[in-house]
Structure 1
Amino acid sequence: MKRFRRYAIALLAGLGGAVVVVGVALAQSPSPTDLMAEANAQYERGEYSGAAQQYEALIDSGYEDAALYYNLGNTYFKMGELGLAVLNYLRAEELSPRDADIRANLELARGRTVDRVESGGEALFASVSNLARRWVTVGEMGVLSLLLWIASAFAIGVLSVWRAIPRRQAVRNGAVVASAATLLSFLLLLSMLYANPNDDSGVVVASTVDVVSGPGEQYETEFTLHSGAQVRLIDSRQGWVRIALPGDDLQGWAPSVAVEALRHGG
């Protein structure tokens, strides 16, 4: 029994020590806020390469924030990396679509690009989704749809339970309006979920890239794109990605390293 007690005490002491070590390690490791502040300080000092590395490390650790992508876009813009600047401004815009600074800097970066790629040829559902995403996020639209559904259900419930309710016509009109708004909001939400143009969107990050007719250097060049051009990703194969310009009038293959997907892991 005494031996068991000694083992138990030793085990508890070991666990306690491990907890203390882990706690000290966590306390000493910098928080995302500290890392962001350090990267911002490097940016202010003009140390753009170091700042970009810090921002990228934050993203690689799983931290995602509109301000982080915006700052990274600004950093790459200062470095003359238009493709990476456009890419990160787009990521920031998706998280904060009403931010005027993000939109202004995105347009500024696009204005410096060589290729003038006009959007067009989208299906109606995708066009509606694109328009909605310029003003609200998917999460915000989901909350709005839920609130409208609750309001319409409440109004319909009141009409069903209380037949002699005062101002019944006004409540009925409100129920009709709320129900119509609920239907519209759910349709917008569905379009944003299932017809999101960002799901297969990419940006040319190489200074120039020859787009060829097949997945290999031996194929004929179809056209050339430059840093910052936004494309649609169609397929990938052994270090090559098939891309298309808006409207799908021009398609071809480019090295995967020359194009980065808007979605991480895409």
Structure 2
Amino acid sequence: MKIQLTYLFLAFISSLTLAFGQENTEVFNSANNAYNEGKYQEAITQYKSILDTGEYSAELYYNLANAYYKTNVIGPSIYYFEKALQLSPNDKDILNNLAFARNMTIDAIEPLPKTQLSKFSSNITGTFTYNQWAWIAVILAFICVISFLLYQFSYQSLQKRIYFLISFIVFIFMLGIIAITYQQYEKAQQDRPAIVFAAETTVKAEPNLRSDAVFTLHEGTKVQVLDTVADWKKIRLIDGKIGWIIAEDINEL
């Protein structure tokens, strides 16, 4: 069962069977009933008890996020919407409710401007995941090999020229796809998003309490984790600002 926002409020709408064990399914249904009765904290406790067993799904994260939203606890709400989005990236309900939750955050951070060339490149490379790009490269390699073999075994000069041209063009495209695949893979490996859970936290210039404060963040803001030193995380905002935050003030996705 999935609970979603309607008219700026969250409401129960549908019933879905989760791939849980019988016991967890009963807990999930009980949590949904608690949510519908306005017992949001009880629903949160029951949803999280399912997570404690190692079971999870986009629907579970989604409903848990909605319950947190109803209690005006924005950090965990955004966190679990983001978790749901990782499992179901094209779900419109998740995207819409995440947008509602983000509107509740205090920090208004504008992303760094991109050039037209950068936007065009991002649109192209972001069309597929690195796994999908890798499969495209494999298919192109297969076509390239077939074309080259046809070139080798063709007797007519026109056919040989055509097959050689095809194999050459496909080979060039294949190299480009391999480059994109590697770029997307590196990007995925470096992607360590996290959500601020503290109501307010000070970001420092260095990983210690004595260093200068560089800026302040509030609950629900999304950051990128760059490094870890003891109990500190080095983070970057979408506007390019970098600093160190106490590790317990954020939860990594």
- Fold conserved between structures, TM > 0.5: yes
193, 205, 214: which is aligned to 1:201?
193
Gaps of 5+ in 2: 1-20
8 Å CA contact 1:149–1:179 kept in 2: the answer is yes
Q: Hey, what does 1:228 align to over in structure 2?
A: 220
Q: Report deviation, 1:205.
A: 1.4
8 Å CA contact 2:76–2:220 kept in 1: the answer is yes
Q: Hey, what does 1:49 align to over in structure 2?
A: 41
Gaps of 5+ in 1: 1-28
Closer, same or farther: CA 182–57 of 1 in aligned 2, 3 Å: farther
Bigger drift between 201-210 and 240-249 goes to 240-249
Distance in 1, Cα, partners of 2:177 & 2:31: 39
Q: What's the Cα RMSD here?
A: 4.0
Distance in 1, Cα, partners of 2:204 & 2:73: 23
Q: Hey, what does 1:114 align to over in structure 2?
A: 106
Distance in 2, Cα, partners of 1:256 & 1:154: 54
- AA of the residue aligned to 1:74: N
Closer, same or farther: CA 214–166 of 1 in aligned 2, 3 Å: closer
Q: Hey, what does 1:72 align to over in structure 2?
A: 64
| Deviation per residue, 1:8-42 (Å, 9 max, x gap) | xxxxxxxxxxxxxxxxxxxxx63766665554454
Distance in 2, Cα, partners of 1:195 & 1:41: 41
Percent same amino acid at aligned positions?
24
Q: Report deviation, 1:202.
A: 1.7
8 Å CA contact 1:129–1:192 kept in 2: the answer is no
Q: Tell me the SS of whatever aligns to 1:236.
A: strand
Alignment partner of 1:259 is 2:226: no
Q: Tell me the SS of whatever aligns to 1:115.
A: coil
8 Å CA contact 1:203–1:231 kept in 2: the answer is yes
Alignment partner of 1:240 is 2:232: yes
8 Å CA contact 1:97–1:135 kept in 2: the answer is no
| Deviation per residue, 1:165-198 (Å, 9 max, x gap) | 9977776666556445433433332222112376
Distance in 2, Cα, partners of 1:42 & 1:156: 65
- AA of the residue aligned to 1:202: A
Q: Report deviation, 1:249.
A: 3.2
Distance in 2, Cα, partners of 1:209 & 1:257: 10
Q: Hey, what does 2:91 align to over in structure 1?
A: 99
| Deviation per residue, 1:132-159 (Å, 9 max, x gap) | 7865444444444433433443344334
Bigger drift between 203-212 and 57-66 goes to 57-66
Q: Tell me the SS of whatever aligns to 1:80.
A: coil
Q: Tell me the SS of whatever aligns to 1:246.
A: coil
Q: Report deviation, 1:229.
A: 1.2
| Deviation per residue, 1:231-262 (Å, 9 max, x gap) | 222333443323232354342x3222211112
Q: Tell me the SS of whatever aligns to 1:224.
A: strand
Distance in 1, Cα, partners of 2:122 & 2:53: 29
In proportion to residue count, which structure has more helix?
Answer: 1
Q: Tell me the SS of whatever aligns to 2:109.
A: coil
Q: TM-score, normalised by structure 2?
A: 0.67
8 Å CA contact 1:233–1:243 kept in 2: the answer is yes
Alignment partner of 1:87 is 2:79: yes
Distance in 2, Cα, partners of 1:98 & 1:188: 22
8 Å CA contact 2:125–2:180 kept in 1: the answer is no
